[in-house]
Amino acid sequence: MEPPTKDIKKIGIAGLGLIGGSISLELQELGHTIYGLVNSTSNLERAKARGLTQFVDTDPKILSNCQIVILALPISQLINPSQELVNALSTDSVVTDVGSVKAPVLNVWEKLHPNFVASHPMAGTTQAGIEAGQTGLFKGRPWVATPTNNTNPEALEVIHKLVMSLGSQWITANAEEHDQAVAMISHLPVIISAALLKAAGKASDQSDTSLAKILCSSGFADTTRVGGGNPNLGVDMASYNTKPILDVLHKYRVSLRKLEEIINTSKWDKLKEELEDSQRIRSDFLL
């Protein structure tokens, strides 16, 4: 591996969906040349039309000469990468991913590449796919790397600099602790929000007027945003972070049951305390 240069120019991105496409647009603005890998000729045409990258192909070999390669693929593809993709990556390159689960990804990729750095930008919208990439997605957002004892410190530093150039907040953490934390603050919200949509959908089927549909307001929109997101992302997170998600679902059911019991027994002073506590926790989390 060559030492990181001040001005890295050739960057490969495998996958040009929301995250990959957004990274690509930002890095182009910073003067880098981006080599994009897409999975279909229709995505190739759309990537060209949107100017997502300077070069784009469906053949992983497009990544061969890149100094940095960002794997912005669904977790399922990260965990089971094609042999063509693995073969296309130069051992001189630095490789990172953007998956929302880190321990299973490290498990696979530390064996596949000497300069692999596991990372996860904490950013998103409800959009997905080749049309979803946008600039400004990462500015001020945390971007977590989960280095291990096997991680090449120079490779870590290359990714660190790249992430800082996108305006993100660089954080390093233990992979298992990361996976537990995202289960609570990122994956659990998807499940509880999807459950709200399912309950509301069922209730409105039963109603003649579907008044709920007319009345739903910003509160419903916000609370259901992540539950109405990309189903494939939801399946990926649940299938690759199953144990932490089941743990936090259990904690959540206990919290919910407690509030229900307070309402059921008309303990309004107690409910006020609980909601004051919720308000305080939110300020504490979202300072």
**Interacting positions 43-62 with a second copy (CB under 8 A):** none
| Stretch near a second copy under the rule CB under 8 A, chosen from 7-15, 35-43, 62-70, 181-189 | 181-189
User: Judged by CB under 8 A, does residue 142 bind a second copy?
Assistant: yes
Q: Which of residues 86-105 bind a second copy (CB under 8 A)?
A: none
Q: How many residues bind a second copy (CB under 8 A)?
A: 95
Taking CA atoms, 186 is separated from 101, 226, 227, in Å, by 11, 9, 11
Q: Which residues pair with 143 in a beta bridge?
A: 121, 170
Q: Which of residues 146-175 bind a second copy (CB under 8 A)?
A: 171, 173
| Stretch near a second copy under the rule CB under 8 A, chosen from 25-33, 38-46, 59-67, 262-270 | 262-270
| Stretch near a second copy under the rule CB under 8 A, chosen from 21-29, 46-54, 58-66, 258-266 | 258-266
Give me the 214-253 binding string for a second copy, x by CB under 8 A, dash otherwise: xxxxxxxxxxxxxxxxxxx-xx--xx--x--xx-xx-xxx
Nearer to a second copy, 61 or 257 (CB): 257
Nearer to a second copy, 113 or 178 (CB): 178
Spatial CB neighbours of 155, under 8 Å, sequence gap ≥ 6 = 1, 94, 95, 115, 116, 117
Nearer to a second copy, 91 or 264 (CB): 264
Distance CA 96, CA 119 (A): 6
Sheet containing 68-71: give its strands across. Answer: 55-57, 33-37, 10-14, 68-71, 94-97, 116-117
User: Judged by CB under 8 A, does residue 135 bind a second copy?
Assistant: no
Taken in order 7, 10, 14, 18, the sign of the CA dihedral is positive
Task: Compute the half-sphere exposure of residue 237: CA atoms within 13 Å on the CB side of its CA.
Answer: 27
Q: Which of residues 16-35 bind a second copy (CB under 8 A)?
A: none
User: Judged by CB under 8 A, does residue 82 bind a second copy?
Assistant: no
Select the residue interacting with a second copy from 70, 144, 163, 175 (CB under 8 A). 144
Taking CA atoms, 133 is separated from 20, 63, 69, in Å, by 7, 20, 18
Say which residue the tokens 């539950």 belong to. 227
Q: Which amino acid is at 115?
A: N
User: Judged by CB under 8 A, does residue 176 bind a second copy?
Assistant: no
Nearer to a second copy, 49 or 281 (CB): 281
Please say whether the beta carbons of 76 and 104 come within 8 A: no
Select the residue interacting with a second copy from 40, 51, 141, 150 (CB under 8 A). 141
User: Judged by CB under 8 A, does residue 203 bind a second copy?
Assistant: yes
SS3 271: helix
